[in-house]
Structure 1
């Protein structure tokens, strides 16, 4: 069947069909120097290629991932954004987010390239500690969001903080 609809329309239909499988689906697009949506970190459960420029990655409930969106026009960057999101389980409350179905628990939401660069540096710092950012405490991403939004540097995520998070998660079990 020849489908002449724009890629976004096909992807939207695909996302709505996938929505009933209990996973969180993120539409990624790459049009070099125009529109770039990518995952900075996260454990992908499924990856479907829709077109040469578009694919859908899916995350299991509870998975944490960072979704970066960037777009430009002839005059320069028009959108720079990063969201750190926890994928939700069916029937769990969520916040809607463009290109994410059904949505998620948004731990961090930052706009503007200078602030996005700060978040990317914070992610790099977590990795430098030897911790996968997916496994970092969700409260750390909320902290990073609040500090950057207030114009302050976020405190670093240390191995000590990570161990405390793991123990807390074990107790809450």
Structure 2
């Protein structure tokens, strides 16, 4: 027998129940010093608390957010990762990502705490320039990814570059 209920689609559970709203959902878990998933930046459109340690946040299509995942065991850090993702609309192609449903357009994907801390510093630099990281050019996050992956320092995101990005976006419509 095939179960055709909406909750049976794509793994069931809280994600599938929320998937019908057109948002990109991210499951966040916080178990102090063991498993920590959090949003570094992003405009959250929906926030649902599932348990004391777990919640699901939703982002509208086109929203850009940074998702940090960290886990440790008795011997130290075992996972350290940051992804900068653009939430996609229902008809857009996407890349799957753990804890993100359905997935998104991955602008930056970095693993390992030394590199993750470089990304966090790049985010801080965007904020220091007076720009909300959600509004920074998608190309900047790709640039940060490529430079860090190549072992080089990313260029700073300046207010002039941001204004150029806004003009380009205005022209492209």
For 1:22-70, what per-residue CA distance to the aligned partner results, in whole angstroms no more than 9, with x for missing partners?
Answer: 1000000000000000000000000000000000000000000000000
> Which runs of structure 1 show a deviation greater than 4 angstroms over 4 or more consecutive aligned residues?
none
Q: How does 1:151-162 map to 2 (within 5 A)?
A: 151-162=151-162
Shift, 1:18, TM fit: 1.0
Question: In the alignment, which residue of structure 1 is the partner of 2:95?
Answer: 95
For 1:80-134, what per-residue CA distance to the aligned partner results, in whole angstroms no more than 9, with x for missing partners?
Answer: 0000000000020000000000000000000000000000000000000000000
Q: How does 1:109-148 map to 2 (within 5 A)?
A: 109-148=109-148
Question: In the alignment, which residue of structure 1 is the partner of 2:61?
Answer: 61
Query: How much is the aligned-residue C-alpha RMSD, in angstroms?
Result: 1.0
1:12–1:121 distance in 2 versus 1, CA, 3 Å: farther
- TM-score, scaled relative to structure 2: 0.93
Question: In the alignment, which residue of structure 2 is the partner of 1:4?
Answer: none
Residue correspondences, number? 163
Q: How does 1:7-22 map to 2 (within 5 A)?
A: 13-22=13-22
Q: Which structure 1 residue ranges, 5 or more long, are not aligned?
A: 1-10
- TM-score, scaled relative to structure 1: 0.93
Question: In the alignment, which residue of structure 1 is the partner of 2:33?
Answer: 33
The alignment partner of 1:130 has SS state of: coil
